[in-house]
Amino acid sequence: MEPFVLDERLARDSESIMQLGLCDLRLSHDSRWPWLILVPQRRNVSEIFDLAPLDQAVLTFEQVTVAAALKTVTGATKINIAAIGNIVRQLHVHIVARSEGDPNWPGPIWGFGQSVPYERPAFELMKNRILEACQ
């Protein structure tokens, strides 16, 4: 069987922080808002309805787990969850912590402005806090 290959743009814009049962959990390099991305490790899947029913259920469980952890870590006003994929067609789910006063509040993050990379220690700190909250 051919292996799963991560989309190049997802690989460039984010970094894997944990392998879940179905998904690769990735932290975006964009520090403007704590931004996680779940990528189901399945080939040739663009839409949630392309996944097998059991994978859909597992994806829901992983989304809920990660979203609740992100809320705990950040104390965000609202967690935004979205599967868009108009540009990157490989199925991926954004889970983003939004807070009043963030750079595009209350508008969406997608397509807004330029990414602001973390300093490496800040990235590692966010990663470790999320991993701890997911346990």
The minimum distance between CB 9 and a second copy, in angstroms, equals 13
Which of residues 7, 85, 123, 131 is near a second copy by CB under 8 A? 85
Which of residues 11, 43, 44, 64 is near a second copy by CB under 8 A? 64
Which of residues 6, 10, 83, 131 is near a second copy by CB under 8 A? 83
Which of residues 16, 56, 127, 133 is near a second copy by CB under 8 A? 56
Q: Does 22 bind a second copy (CB under 8 A)?
A: no
The minimum distance between CB 51 and a second copy, in angstroms, equals 8
Which of residues 78, 116, 125, 128 is near a second copy by CB under 8 A? 78
Bond before 53 cis per omega within 30 degrees = no
Please classify residue 126 by burial: count the beta carbons closer than 10 Å to its beta carbon, then call 0-12 exposed, 13-18 middle and 19+ buried. Answer: buried
Look at the chain and count its residues.
Answer: 135
Stretch that binds a second copy, among 14-22, 23-31, 63-71, 118-126 (CB under 8 A): 63-71
Contact assessment for residue 8 and residue 14, using Cβ atoms and an 8 Å cutoff: no
77 SS3 class: coil
Please classify residue 106 by burial: count the beta carbons closer than 10 Å to its beta carbon, then call 0-12 exposed, 13-18 middle and 19+ buried. Answer: exposed
